[in-house]
């Protein structure tokens, strides 16, 4: 369905916000985000998974929703309009919208000296270089025992995506990173837990 057509139907209440995640993947995200205080989502799209994370995180937690939300021919982002409206209907918990690229958001987070995050969901650019940028810039900002969940990181019974750049990078780099252990896989989702801190995360931990 064309984005503009879907947007029109959504405005009329005839279509729902869209997501490429499965129900099982969203349930997995909810389990691992439960009680987390500092969360980051890379790739918001229509805000479906944003709502899931927001509904299960710690009561006084903060969720950084990162997406450049490119402007279309109508000079606004239909995806951003849908996402913000969907989130406004959700639980009244803190969310910070960051309209920029994942790499730039990570750099700004590090420069600001904020404490390590304890949950990151990466569902943005699924190319090899795209996931490389996400991983290299955010993995070092994750706290000890923190979680990183990667969407479209493996094939599943319902989706054969072995040639996708994100799958190849996960296999080539992520699964070989000794600082992270795989704790769960669900459909195309891979969930990893950090076992050791980098110098970046350690130095940031002392900041409020």
Residue of higher predicted confidence among 203 and 56: 56
Rounded to whole angstroms, how far apart are CA atoms 102 and 105?
5
Domains of the chain: total: 1
pTM listed for this prediction: 0.90
The verdict on residue 11 lying in a domain is no
The verdict on residue 2 lying in a domain is no
Q: What is the pLDDT of residue 161?
A: 97
Handedness of CA 44, 190, 147, 142 (dihedral sign): negative
- For 113-171, the DSSP string reads TPPPEEEEEE-S--SHHHHHHHHHHHGGGEEEEEEEEETT-S--SS---TTSHHHHHHH
Q: What is the pLDDT of residue 74?
A: 79
The three-class DSSP label of residue 66 is strand
Model confidence pLDDT, tens digit, residues 164-202? 999 999 999 999 999 999 999 999 999 999 997 654 444
Does the pLDDT at position 93 exceed 60?
Answer: yes
State which residues form the domain around 37.
Answer: 19-204
Rounded to whole angstroms, how far apart are CA atoms 135 and 105?
13
The verdict on residue 32 lying in a domain is yes
The verdict on residue 116 lying in a domain is yes
> Quick one: which H or E segment has residue 191?
strand 189-194
């Amino acid at each position: 369905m064309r984005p503009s057509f879907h947007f029109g139907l959504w405005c009329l209440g005839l279509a729902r916000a869209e997501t490429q995640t499965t129900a099982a993947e969203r349930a997995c995200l909810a389990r691992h985000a439960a009680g987390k205080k500092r969360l980051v989502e890379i790739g918001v799209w229509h805000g479906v998974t944003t709502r899931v994370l927001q509904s299960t995180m710690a009561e006084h937690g903060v969720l950084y929703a990162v997406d450049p939300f490119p402007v279309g021919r109508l000079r606004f982002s239909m995806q951003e309009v849908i996402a913000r409206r969907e989130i406004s209907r959700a639980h009244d918990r803190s969310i910070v919208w960051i309209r920029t690229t994942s790499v730039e958001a990570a750099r700004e987070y590090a420069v600001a000296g904020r404490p390590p995050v304890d949950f990151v969901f990466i569902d943005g650019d699924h190319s090899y270089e795209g996931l490389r940028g996400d991983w290299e810039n955010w993995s070092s900002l994750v706290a000890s025992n923190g979680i990183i969940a990667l969407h479209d990181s493996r094939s599943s019974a319902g989706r054969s995506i072995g040639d996708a750049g994100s799958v190849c990078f996960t296999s080539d780099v992520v699964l070989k990173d000794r600082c992270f252990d795989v704790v769960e896989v669900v459909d195309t989702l891979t969930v990893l837990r950090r076992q050791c801190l980098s110098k970046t995360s350690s130095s940031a931990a002392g900041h409020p």
